[in-house]
Amino acid sequence: MSTRNAERHAVLHSWCVQADWDAPTIVGGQGARFWDEDGRVLLDMSSLSECMNLGHQHPALVKAIQDQAAALCFTTAAWGAEPRARLAVRLLEKSGFEGGRVFFTLGGADANEHAVKFARQAAGGPPGLVITRDRSYHGASYAAMALSGDSRTTSQADPSRYGVVRVPPPYAYRCPFGSASDAECGTMAAAHVARTIDERTGVSAVLMEPNAGTNGIVAPDTFWPALRAETRKRGVSLIADEVMSGFGRCGEWFAWQRYGEAGRPDLMTLAKGLTGAHAPLGAVVLSADIAARLDHQMLNTGLTYCGHPLSCAAGLAAMQAYEDERLIERSRTLGAAMFERLTALQAGHAVIGDVRGGDGLFAVLELVKDRATREPLRPWPEVHPSLKSLVARGRAAGVSFAIRGNLILLAPPLVITEPELADALIVLDRLIAESDWS
Ligand code: PLP
């Protein structure tokens, strides 16, 4: 059986109808490109699942994993491991969470579940409520689905059974609060969270994405600092889900840092860019205050692979690469250029209703039927056939684009070259122009 046939018949694939799954086998990559077994090369405009921030097969990461494998593949969290300890210190330094602690997981969903556990335990008393928002994604384990306001998973987990209360998002283009401006939408969304806390008893935490997310919401800049101020005033922990927005994706190490101390959460969750997906790893970073509250309590949780040495070695090498190659700054500069180019594209294509993002190499195009009325191209989360075909035609043209509903999500590796980025946007321009959007 060929690899492709084996993959097609023996693997249960995520987020798809099994019978429809049909994709090439990827065998290699370099920088912003990867290639399949037939030698077909694709320029990656989504960092695969918005996780390969450092590009494909980054040599420093490959070497770090090889060196660590030769020295020590595994020890449990019951014992110390050098790369785990060093990575925790580096994360606390970069986030300015000195005196805090880091709990390592395998990915984003378990990081979010653990952040909620820690916030609840730190709050004391019976497990409190957690406020999250619609049009968010925090993972696909049961509690993470309950935390997420994602159309794919809402019917799978009842939020009330997990102590989760969901509120409308700061979706400025279609503001659920009927605001007059983007800025006002951000403050109204934060005020709504504050009201929700006041109306309920026993809210322990608010968990939200500060910037980029797979549901295509990019909160206005007024949102996060206002949310921080309101939660601080009420003694409720703020958890920033930085799984996607961290490690340069939004032009900072962590997206909340754009607001300085006014944006600092009590806990943040990381994955994806933490190792640039070179090895599976997630983390919960706890502030000194939360960590101190847990210091003399039993912590009844753990994962066999907490802080796996191979993954932590990859994480350390990743952080060094972001720094040595100035990738955070690069993301900011290239992200601004990409945003400008996308705004120009919008001027030429009536189907592009909104362009948002641009604080780093992350942007969202929202497609509409009518720009004046903002009527969606298809009701969320349906996908217009031409958008599906755009992805297929992009692949045929050598560029891999990610879509969701009416959205085109642009999140290339931070190592993409300027000519590669320019070429990809020329292809996108052509594909949009050649599509029938009726
Ligand atoms: N949080 C956010 C913001 C994400 O984008 C994702 C994944 O896309 C997750 C959490 C879940 O991460 P994982 O797939 O590693 O469990």
Ligand 1 atom index nearest CA of 214: 5
CB contact at 8 A, 105 and 114 = yes
pLDDT for the residue numbered 393: 98
Mean pLDDT of 165-183: 98
Is the pLDDT confidence value at 71 over 90? yes
What is the 274 CA–ligand 1 centroid distance (Å)? 12
CB contact at 8 A, 213 and 245 = yes
* 359-415 confidence digits (pLDDT tens): 999 999 999 999 999 999 999 999 999 999 999 999 999 999 999 999 999 999 999
- Could you tell me the maximum CA-CA distance found in the chain, to the nearest angstrom? 63
Are 297 and 343 within one domain?
no
CB contact at 8 A, 418 and 378 = no
* 20-34 confidence digits (pLDDT tens): 999 999 999 999 999
Is 66 within a domain? no
Q: Which of 294, 324, 354 is the last residue of a domain?
A: 324
Are 250 and 334 within one domain?
no
Q: Which of 274, 306, 324 is the last residue of a domain?
A: 324
Q: How would residue 57 be classed by pLDDT, with cut points 50, 70 and 90?
A: very high
Are 379 and 401 within one domain?
yes
**How far, in Å, CA of 428 to CA of 17, rounded?**
27
Are 158 and 226 within one domain?
yes
* 328-339 confidence digits (pLDDT tens): 999 999 999 999
CB contact at 8 A, 280 and 106 = yes
Is the pLDDT confidence value at 1 over 90? no
The count of domains in the chain is 2
Say whether the peptide bond before residue 220 is cis (omega within 30 degrees of 0). no
Are 43 and 171 within one domain?
no
Helix (H, G, I), strand (E, B) or coil at 154: helix
What is the 136 CA–ligand 1 centroid distance (Å)? 10
Ligand 1 pocket, mutate which of 152, 239, 243, 249 (most atoms under 8 A from CB): 243
Nearest to 314 by CA among 68, 146, 82: 68
**How far, in Å, CA of 225 to CA of 348, rounded?**
35
3-class secondary structure per residue, 199-267: HCCCEEEEEECCCCCCCCCCCCCCHHHHHHHHHHHCCCEEEEECCCCCCCCCCCCCHHHHHHHHHCCCE
CA atoms within 13 A on the CB side of 225: 10
Token readout for 128 is 């409190």
Is 232 within a domain? yes
pLDDT for the residue numbered 200: 96
pLDDT for the residue numbered 72: 98
Ligand 1 pocket, mutate which of 137, 207, 217, 218 (most atoms under 8 A from CB): 137
* 188-209 confidence digits (pLDDT tens): 999 999 999 999 999 999 999 9
Q: Residue 368 sits in a domain of what CATH number?
A: 3.90.1150.10
Is the pLDDT confidence value at 271 over 90? yes
Q: How would residue 4 be classed by pLDDT, with cut points 50, 70 and 90?
A: confident
Beta-bridge mates of residue 33: 30, 43
Q: Which of 324, 356, 380 is the last residue of a domain?
A: 324
Helix (H, G, I), strand (E, B) or coil at 382: coil
Q: How would residue 257 be classed by pLDDT, with cut points 50, 70 and 90?
A: very high
Q: How would residue 3 be classed by pLDDT, with cut points 50, 70 and 90?
A: confident
Sequence-distant (6+) residues with CB within 8 A of 2 are none
Residue bearing the CA closest to ligand 1, atom 13? 108
Nearest to 311 by CA among 341, 353, 279: 279
Are 171 and 287 within one domain?
yes
Is the pLDDT confidence value at 212 over 90? no
- On average, the pLDDT of the chain sits at 97
Is the pLDDT confidence value at 247 over 90? yes
Are 290 and 339 within one domain?
no
Helix (H, G, I), strand (E, B) or coil at 426: helix
Are 219 and 100 within one domain?
yes
Are 34 and 85 within one domain?
no
**How far, in Å, CA of 67 to CA of 53, rounded?**
22
Are 287 and 366 within one domain?
no
CB contact at 8 A, 247 and 273 = yes
Ligand 1 pocket, mutate which of 14, 145, 272, 404 (most atoms under 8 A from CB): 272
Are 330 and 319 within one domain?
no
DSSP 8-state code for residue 42? E
Token readout for 159 is 């939020």
pLDDT for the residue numbered 213: 87
Q: How would residue 137 be classed by pLDDT, with cut points 50, 70 and 90?
A: very high
What is the domain range of residue 355? 3-57+326-434
Are 38 and 78 within one domain?
no
Is 67 within a domain? no
Is the pLDDT confidence value at 342 over 90? yes
Q: Residue 85 sits in a domain of what CATH number?
A: 3.40.640.10
Q: Annotate 93-114 with b (16+ C-beta within 10 A) or e (fewer).
A: ebbebeebbbbbbbbbbbbbbb
Sequence-distant (6+) residues with CB within 8 A of 7 are 23, 25
CB contact at 8 A, 171 and 185 = yes
What percent of the chain stands above pLDDT 70? 100
Write down the pTM of the prediction: 0.98
Mean pLDDT of 260-281: 98
H or E segment to which residue 328 belongs: helix 327-348
Mean pLDDT of 302-324: 98
